[in-house]
Structure 1
């Protein structure tokens, strides 16, 4: 348990940020999932539309330190590559 007033305040602050970050992480994961489902179904146009929504979500999550920048870039790269394979 926090002993000082500043530590108690930090605990309250962390709890508030955790709620916001969980929401943003859930939103990001949903966007990625929609792209993966479109890829799995083989619908290239739906995958491209979903990717237009998912890429900004991933990059914003990286900017806000919800996920690491390289993790976001890797996810975008892999999803883009998977969509490109659908064209063949």
Structure 2
């Protein structure tokens, strides 16, 4: 329990911020899964389109400090690598 008004306010704010961050993290994971699903279907064109669209979402989460920028780059790189391999197969 908070002992001061300031501590009580910080406790409230941190609860609100945690809820916001959880929502954004869910958005990030959904974006990654959309690209993975497009890759799984095997349609190279749809996978490339999905990657272009969701890359901005991944970058946005990195800019909001939901994930580190290097982690965002790593996710995008790995997805791009899989999309490129899919395009070569077709």
TM-score by length of 2: 0.90
- Partner Cα distance (2:2, 2:52) in 1: 44
Unaligned runs of 5+ in 2: none
Tell me what 2:74 maps to: 74
Tell me what 2:32 maps to: 32
Moved over 6 A (4+): none
Q: CA deviation at 1:7?
A: 1.2
Unaligned runs of 5+ in 1: none
Tell me what 1:55 maps to: 55
RMSD of aligned C-alpha atoms?
1.1
Q: Aligned residue pairs: how many?
A: 88
TM-score by length of 1: 0.91
Q: CA deviation at 1:36?
A: 0.3
Q: CA deviation at 1:53?
A: 2.0
Tell me what 1:83 maps to: 83
- Partner Cα distance (2:57, 2:26) in 1: 10
Q: CA deviation at 1:2?
A: 2.0
